[in-house]
Structure 1
């Protein structure tokens, strides 16, 4: 019984691994689940995901989109552009 408990604990804790990258292309892939489109220039980024089951994460991505990409992004995500300055 002790052996089974130790084995289960080892399997549970060994499956946890942190994700951490500063490669902009990889950050985009973690964020969107796909490769970046050709009309989007990725400048820099950072992605971190916790090593435990809660999957906490932090992400930042600096990019230079085309006007078409940006307008599509706004429509798809139902965003309102803040025009106040």
Structure 2
């Protein structure tokens, strides 16, 4: 499985020859988004908090069949709430 990039800056975890992958921080509420630093996590929070609870619930109720499937945030014109697909 490919390492997940930072949700905020899109940096990927680095590995040096023979060493372990750099551990990224993960959102403690949904456990689905990754951050390379506390700064990136704080910068993203004002956006991520809008969907965090729904994001976590959506993924646990309908998990992806494989890592090749991506989650999309849809903004339907007939409702006020975004939906995950």
TM-score (norm 2): 0.26
Structure with max Cα Rg? 1
Larger helix proportion of the pair: 1
TM-score (norm 1): 0.26
